[in-house]
Amino acid sequence: MIVYLGSGCHLVQYPLRRGEMLNTVAVFESPAYHRGEENWGGPEELEEVFAGCCPEVRRGLASLWRNRRWPMYDRLPIPNWVNGRLALTGDAAHPMLQYLAQGACQAIEDAYCLAGEATARPHPGAADWETALKEYERTRTDRTARVQSSARFWGDLWHVDGLARLIRNELFRDRQPNDFKHLDWLYQA
């Protein structure tokens, strides 16, 4: 995976289908959105935001589909996902920005946790759903809140400018490619 970071924008490229395809994703903070305009995030604005980027990024932009866009929305973590026998999972419970690529991963963790809780306390004829759902909520809310907050932080870090950009670049430059100390908590079992 290759990531180009810039002020208010970034471009990610990685191979798919055993290297037969290259996925390219461009993300930018929309000036039109910040101005309150109704139409924002379109191809013209993408071109404007990335106009001063390096040649590699400009070449990468050429492979983007221009007829689709995926606006990013963010929400602070919420403390409860259960109401009676109804439980939220995945993005419904904890939508997160894509900077740690954890949306689907956290939904899978939710399902694994919920299945474990449903089978942990056998109840005559059925699972003890009230207890299972409350335990699922208790177990998962802190972790997913941390992932949501961390994803937001990484997005902010990727898009900084000025002195913060220089510091970020130096920190990234000095770390080893296999150094994951800032995210070990996320990937360790």
- Domains of the chain, first to last: 1-71 (no CATH), 73-189 (3.50.50.60)
Q: Is 82 helix (H, G, I), strand (E, B) or coil?
A: strand
Instruction: Read off the pTM.
Output: 0.85
In this predicted model, what pLDDT tens digit does every residue of 50-83 receive, in sequence order?
A: 999 999 999 999 989 888 888 888 889 999 999 9
Catalytic positions: 14
Check residue 135 and give its pLDDT: 95
In this predicted model, what pLDDT tens digit does every residue of 117-153 receive, in sequence order?
A: 988 877 666 778 889 999 999 999 999 999 999 999 9
Do 135 and 117 touch, CB atoms closer than 8 A? yes
Distance CA 102, CA 26 (A): 18
Instruction: Choose the weakest-confidence range: 29-38, 59-68, 160-169.
Output: 59-68
Q: String of b and e for 112-142 (b: at least 16 CB within 10 Å)? A: ebbeebbeeeeeeeebbbeebbebbbeebbe
